[in-house]
Structure 1
Amino acid sequence: MNASKPPQEGYASFGANKTWYRVTGDLQNGLTPLVILHGGPGCTYDTVDAFKDVAASGRAIIQFDHLGSGFSTRMVDKDPSFWTVELFLEELDNLLDHLRISQGYALLGHSWGGVLASEHAVLTPSGLRALIIANAPADMRTWEAETLRLREALPEEVRQVLIRHEQAGTLQSAESVQASQVYFERHVCRLRPWPEEVVQMFARGRCDSAMGGAAQRAEDFPLLGNLRDWSIVERLSRIQIPTLLISGRYDEATPTVVKPYLENIPDIRWALFESSSHMPHVEERVACMGTVVSFLDECL
């Protein structure tokens, strides 16, 4: 990577809307670039900002805010039916075309971004060279069941607070937020204190997917309601490219959650980070980046 080359930011027109993106590194150096898909839905690129470290290996990194989030066009008046997986797949294809990399790229998706990355991969686009699925579900019903199981393992007094505020619809109260923090510190990010990007993620209030009922989460970001019955398990065998699965020992994306990827994608390997939960790219940053670089160097 040309260390003197500053990151390049811009917008890709997407119909009447715009997708904000940032490129770290040189897209013209002959190495396959890596496109990063952030989580949520409703989070922003900076929750996975750490992956820009991969550019130190010489490979360009593209990060962007999904439509409706961050620096991309924000829309608060759309009908819930507007927010679909197909919309975000179209946005991704549009960005790849805008950057002129659709004939050769790798993809990394974290959490909801992993859902989107896997949906893109099962379409077998000719330019997709490698796939990294980080801390993501393959089936939303399984994800829901596992996060509820993890919540049941919280201290009894914490569980009762969460149940009381969920029933009352007061999940934003100070008491409820404090109780939710117990879950987040176990299963989302185990670092103390939290890095700034994690603090900001929760300050924005749109990424706390494990707490609260489905109705509340769907109100916060309608796509979550549309994804409630989503599953890709039966389509995963279509992915024939090298794939890396990332998860943490204490992850809300438990082994049960990620198991379908391991069982159904033919060319897949699993990196389990022993000191991490849902954000190994933050919790074990150096090791996670090294794993990603090694995988890409091996298969590209």
Structure 2
Amino acid sequence: MSTDIAPFKVGSETFKTSYKVFGDLKSGTRPLVVLNGGPGLPHLYMLPHADLHQERHGGRPVILYDQLGCGDSTRLRDKPGDFITPALFVAELDNLLRHLGITRDFDLLGQSWGVTLAVEYIAAHHPAGLKHLVLTSGPASYPLWREALAGLLAQWPRDFQDMLGRHERDGTTDAPEYQEGLMQFYRKHILNLEVWPPETLKSMAQMGEDPTVYRAMLGVNEFNMTGTLKDWSIIPKLGAVPCPTLIINGADDEAADSCVAPLFYGIKRARWVTFGSSSHMAFWEEPGKYLQIVTDFLIDSGMDGGAEA
């Protein structure tokens, strides 16, 4: 699958957004645009969604892209923190859709930070052509996200909590002990697989090599959130979502029920599915079930809401 570029002009500068199209945009089948998380995590870890272009899943074109600052898109190492805002990524998404000619009939799927991006885009542009929205493992607000993380961390042994806290207070979060502790937490609450897929490892490694966007918007890590998203909330904007919406999280997800529930109650036509054997990436942990549920939802918009486990 070849990589293409969408030029994106901001002021006097022109950036590039790297994207891939799986399937045929000229097929007449409604396309799905996938928004990755992080922020600043390249699209590779989201590749299971490319299977949605297969005929058994409806044969729709699927677009995956690297948001600015990661992957093959323009990096932002020389940009100040106040340049790297949700509004920048909303404008980038709008530019990409226009570049591809996707304005009249399309679906959106956002994961983690991509949930925030999707709702911010809808609130800013009120896209009449948006038919379905899928919100996977993302919070309604980052204060709720921090509360959920604190609750999950409280379930771990006291000495583990003390170790993380000590390194955060001392500014030694690069210490091997701290990094190994984070990986233990992530293996429980981000991707609960014994062996992580190479696509996910590569995405993580690329973000580690250039964490500019992540640090500007979140901070050093999720436990020590100091970035521009620290107090961000999309709850007041949920009423702008006009279309049927599928909300997904995992039983062991960082995006715990407490920070997902406002999405369900704030969006008029919403369905909520919790994957019992998953954490933050159900598309890797329960891929068959995940893709089928997303497929069924995108094909059938006649849903009245509800929740299930």
Query: What is the deviation of 1:167?
Result: 1.4
SS where residue 164 of structure 1 aligns? Answer: helix
Please name the residue that 1:3 is paired with: none
* 1:40-55 alignment runs, 5 A limit: 40-55=38-53
Q: Normalization by structure 2: what TM-score?
A: 0.88
CA distance in 2, matches of 1:194, 1:27: 32
| SS in structure 1 at match of 2:50 | helix
C-alpha displacement at 1:104, in angstroms?
1.5
Q: What is the match of residue 284 of structure 2?
A: 282
1:161 offset after TM fit, Å?
1.6
Aligned-residue sequence identity (percent) comes to 37
Q: Which amino acid aligns with 1:268?
A: A
Code of the aligned partner of 1:198: T
Question: What is residue 69 of structure 1 aligned with on the other side?
Answer: 70
TM-score (normalised: structure 1): 0.91
**Is contact 2:44-2:200 (8 Å) kept?**
no
Q: Distance in 2 between matches of 1:182 and 1:156?
A: 14
Equivalent pairs, count: 288
Matches within 5 A, 1:231-246: 231-246=233-248
- Mark the runs of 5 or more structure 1 residues left unpaired by the alignment: 1-6
**Amino acid of the residue matched to residue 75 of structure 1?**
L
Amino acid at match of 1:216: V
Name structure 2 gaps, 5 residues minimum: 303-309
Question: Within 1, Cα distance between the matches of 2:265 and 2:281?
Answer: 23
Q: By how many angstroms is 1:154 displaced?
A: 1.2
Aligned amino acid, residue 169 of structure 2: Q
2:243 counterpart letter in structure 1: I
Q: Hey, what does 2:174 align to over in structure 1?
A: 172
Letter aligned with residue 43 of structure 1:
L
CA distance in 2, matches of 1:264, 1:42: 27
Tell me by how many angstroms 1:215 deviates: 4.8
Residue 10 of structure 1 pairs with residue 12 of structure 2? no
Q: Secondary structure at the match of 1:299?
A: coil
The answer to whether the 8 A contact 2:17-2:73 is kept is yes
Equivalent position of 1:197 in the other structure: 199
> 2:111 aligns to what?
110
RMSD: 2.2
Which residue of the partner structure matches residue 93 of structure 1? 94
The match for 2:22 among 21, 24, 32 is 24
Give secondary structure in 2 for the equivalent of 1:216.
coil
Match of 1:228 in 2: 230
Task: Quickly say closer, same or farther: Cα 1:191–1:70, change in 2 above 3 A.
Answer: same
